[in-house]
Each structure stands twice: as C-alpha cells, then as structure tokens.
Amino acid sequence: MQKRQLGNSGLEVSAIGLGCMGLSFGYGPATEKSAGIGLIRAAYEKGVTFFDTAECYGPFVNEELVGEALAPIRDQVVIATKFGFQDGDSKQPLDSRPERIRAVAEASLRRLQTDRIDLFYQHRVDPAVPMEDVAGTVRDLIQEGKVKHFGLSEASAKSIRRAHAVQPVAALQSEYSLWWREPEQTVLPTLEELGIGFVPFSPLGKGFLTGAISETTSFDKNDFRNVVPRFSEANRKANAHLVEVLGQIADGKGVTRAQIALAWLLAQKPWIVPIPGTTKLQRLEENINAATVVLSAKDLSAIETALHQIKVVGERYPAHIQQRVDR
C-alpha cells in the first residue's frame, strides 16, 4: 500500500484507510465482535495503517472494538477518534466544552487501550463554544502527550482558519465523493493553502456508488439510510444513471465502480486519504486494490464530462442533521 502525508502535519498514513463505524453502528446490526476484529486485522495485513472511529459509534463499542483489534500492532498504526456530542451520543446536542473534550480524551484512551490518540477530531463544530477554545484545549492535550494531531469534521473554511490559527489542523474529515462535491467550492482550496490533509468519509456514497444498491433495495430497520433523503426510492431511481456511467468507465478499465470512485478521489490531490468502510473481507480487498488503479488525465476528463451531464438528486442528510453542518 502506498503511503500519503496528511498535509504538512508529518502524519503519514496508508493511501486508503478504514472507516470502522459500520462494524458497530449506522448500517444495521453490529458485526459480531470476533469478525470485526478479524476484518480490522486483515486490513492491517493488507497494508492499511489508518483506522477511524469515534466515541459516538455505538456509542463507545466501536472504540473498544478498534482498541482490542489494534492493541498487538498499536505502534504500527494511526488511530483517529472524535469528540463533540453530549454523553457521546450523536442523537444528543453538540458539546465541545473544554471539560467535555478532556473527559472524552481520557475515556477514549482507555477504550482504545492506548496512551495517545494519533488524530483527535471535533466531530461537528459546536456554535456554542468558540473554536479558539476547542483548538486551545486540544493544543493542551497535545502538549501533555495524550493527543498527537488535531482534526476537524464537516467544518467550514472559516472555522478551519480559526482553529488553525490556534493549533495547526492536521486533517479535515468531511463527506466527499463523485456524488457529493461541495468541498471543492471553498474547503479544498483552504486546505491546500494551509497545508491541511483531507479525509473523505462516505467516499462510496454510503454504498450507492458501488452499484450494489437499487431502487428496490430494502435496508435494515436500524440502517440510517432509511432517513436519508438521497436514499428514498424515487431518488435512488433518479440517481441510477450515475452508477451506470461509473460502470461504463469501470468496465473499460477492467475494475469495479467502487475502485473508480476511490481512484478518482486519490487523483484529486496527493493529500487526500479516503476511508471507505465495510464489513466484508471481499469488499475490503476491493477497496484496498483501488490504490493501484491509475486514472490518466484522459480518464479524469471523461469522468468530469460525464458528471456534468448528471444531476444528483436528494439531500445528503435529513433536516435535523443538516442543521449541524458548519457553514
């Protein structure tokens, strides 16, 4: 697996990381523990060194799973986790008060079975707490050796600048993919200017870009895609053309839709590191192998031309979640 630097931070990770959320949370029943540990360790054996979790995934159980899985190889991997919700529950209000950040750091260290958090993200910008206070608290944790690098998630260019002025931001994590390109407008130019890495989550459009989801697909009752407007039956039908175009491009190169989607992200900037998630070993291998897919300038131009002819429909979040996205 190739390695990449997240901006100017000096933080080196595998070109493709593993988003661990879905093993415990968000997409239906949690994966059985031993299977989850096996998948995480298989990812490492295949070259992945960057693992993403959060206290609210579960809550808490995903950090415990990741901690147990990576304990034997702790010094060979980079672990990212997050703070930002009251009581560690994403259904609760935002909470990035300094005392809460400190409490989360201590609890996450225990659950992850480690003495430092490599990358500590603010999960969502909290409008009730000045960004300078958030960045200052993480700066103190870095000085104490409990945290190595500071990150933000779903933050606007304005918030990124405010945070970076207090404590250099190593990475921003936000949604970015062939069907959600908003970060290109103001966020990506800001990251490039400031030397900050970018970690796209949902790089496969929450599974849609793989071609495995159609208008007739039914989701588990606990799958959050049930409430995502973009995943309504009508919108899945309307967005199917994007998957068809991806399939044509993938077939032409002898790879899968998922691999084209990930290779496209890798081709955008050398400091972009997507973190696709999966519960299946076959999909893990497919995602990892996307790092070997080379898209030429001609390929990228063809993809761009095709995308300009497609209008993706449906909001990416329901209204109550969309309100938490920093603007």
Supply the residues annotated as catalytic: 57
Residues listed for the chain: 327
Phi, psi of 266 (to 5 degrees): -60, -30
Q: Comparing C-alpha atoms, which of 36, 46, 53 is closest to residue 2?
A: 46
Alpha-carbon distance of 301 to 181, in angstroms, equals 16
Q: Which two tokens stand for residue 315?
A: 């909001």
Residue spans of alpha helices (H) in 201-239: 233-238
Cα–Cα distance for residue pair 13/189, rounded to 1 Å: 22
Strand bridging mode 12-14 / 3-5: antiparallel
For residue 327 the two structure tokens come to: 């603007």
Whether the bond into 59 is cis, omega within 30 of 0: yes
- Cβ within 8 Å of residue 231, ≥6 positions away: 206, 208, 213, 219, 225, 314
